[in-house]
Amino acid sequence: MMSVIGKNSAHIAGWLLFFALFCVLFAVLQECLKPKFCDESNNSTSMIEGFYALEEDSLDALFLGGSQMAYAVAADALTIEHGISSYDFGANGQMPETTLYYLKQAFRRQRPRLVLLEVGQLIDTNRPDDAYFAWNMSSMPFGVDKWRHLLQLTRGDYKASFMHLFPLFQYHSRWKELNRHDARLPFVRRDCASRGHLACLSSCAVAKPAGGGTQDGGISVSEKNMRCLAEISLLCKEKCSRLILFKTPSVVWNVPDQVIMRFAVDNGIQYWNFNGDTCEMGLDFDNDFVDAMHLNAKGARKFTAFLAKRLKH
């Protein structure tokens, strides 16, 4: 009898060891094969990993949004030069429903006094494509919340959600293009020296817009995006964080200001449109932009210095 029990125990231990080794190998392969974005045109991998490498409850200000936020807000300068511990937590092309998901995840680790949301993303009504999932979801931690948000993004498509929950299945063919950024271990988060800021060194001369910075241009915000904004506002109130809506400088004023201003007034929050402050910032339209909608590294330093003064007041 004892020998039978011993054999059964050995079999169980063997299977458990095999399962553990399989899980480790699966996790390593998945971490290596999922796409990485760590350059000056897209740093969403570094931005997400860097956030999770931060010391818990260490932020004064959390910035949310898409590429316009990441290009414009030099969170490293805000932290080091202006004494406001900050981080840019977002990804290129981010939609409001994903921003809400990011904020919920952020509040698990941080309790910032300020949450600043760049509102340029509010006009986005596109359905997410594979690039969107790669930028916004592939580096987010595995878990139930991620699964639920994937189902939300795919409109209940279980197969597509499963593929994005386990990037190994989605990106198994990437082995041909692996590079040094892919050689990493799972569950090891790397610091992001720029604190999420996307510092682009290239520049492009853009036409200085005439008039003030509050043109609506006939653009509207969908009901779904306004509901997401309302949920973000409510969540910040529940967590005792002050929400501020802001618009980074751009030549293309793609935000319906009257809608945002009305929402801000109705909910007792502030909205800062910085398009009307470009002269005071000293922005150079020949040298401080990457394109019509994004600041480069030089423009971001000027904008961030101006923003720091506003935050301190």
139/306: higher pLDDT: 306
Largest CA distance in the chain: 90
Please report the pLDDT score of residue 17 as a whole number.
73
Per-residue model confidence (pLDDT) at position 26: 58
Chain length of the chain: 313
Would you report the helix, strand and coil content of the chain in percent, each value rounded to 5? 50, 10, 40
State the sign of the Cα–Cα–Cα–Cα dihedral 166, 167, 170, 172. negative
Beta bridge partners of 272: 246
H-state helical runs in the chain = 2-33, 44-53, 67-72, 75-80, 96-106, 130-136, 144-153, 158-165, 167-170, 223-238, 257-266, 278-281, 297-312
Neighbours of 265 (CB within 10 A): 11
**Has residue 177 got a pLDDT over 80?**
no
Phi, psi (degrees; rounded to nearest 5) at 51: -65, -45
**pLDDT at position 40:** 54
Report the percentage of the chain scoring pLDDT > 70: 77
Out of 12-26, 122-136, 189-203, which region has the weakest mean confidence (pLDDT)?
Answer: 12-26
Domain spans of the chain, in order of start: 34-312
SS3 65: strand
- HSE, CB side, 13 Å, CA atoms: give it for residue 168: 12
Residue 251 has a pLDDT of 85
For the stretch 137-150, pLDDT in tens is 888 888 899 999 99
Query: What is the tens place of the pLDDT at every residue in 185-194?
Result: 566 667 788 9
Whole-Å CA distances, 34 to 91, 158, 277: 16, 20, 41
Nearest to 202 by CA among 72, 77, 289: 289
Give the DSSP letter of residue 42. Answer: B
Asked if pLDDT for residue 287 goes beyond 70, the answer is yes
Q: Is the pLDDT of residue 296 over 80?
A: yes
Encoding tokens for residue 105?
């995840």
Q: How much of the chain, in percent, has pLDDT values that exceed 90? A: 47
Q: What angle do CA 216, 217, 221 make, to 5 degrees?
A: 60
The reported pLDDT for the residue numbered 228 is 94
DSSP assigned state of 175: G
Give the mean pLDDT of the chain. 83
Residue 257 is predicted with a pLDDT of 79
Query: Which residues, in sequence order, are CB contacts of 55 under 8 Å at separation 6+?
Result: none
Neighbouring C-beta atoms of residue 96, cutoff 10 Å: 26
Confirm if 245 and 119 have CB atoms less than 8 A apart. Answer: yes
The pLDDT, as a whole number, for residue 125 is 62
Helices 257-266 + 223-238 axis angle, to 10: 30
29 vs 67: which has the higher pLDDT: 67
pLDDT digits (tens, 9 = 90+) for 234-268: 999 999 999 999 999 988 766 677 889 999 999 99
Class of domain 34-312: alpha beta
Contact predicate 304/74, CB 8 Å: yes
Task: Summarize pLDDT for 40-93 with one digit per residue, the tens.
Answer: 555 667 788 889 999 999 999 999 998 899 999 999 999 999 999 999 998 888
Tens digits of residue pLDDT in 201-236? 888 888 877 655 445 555 678 888 999 999 999 999
Mean pLDDT confidence for 1-21:
67
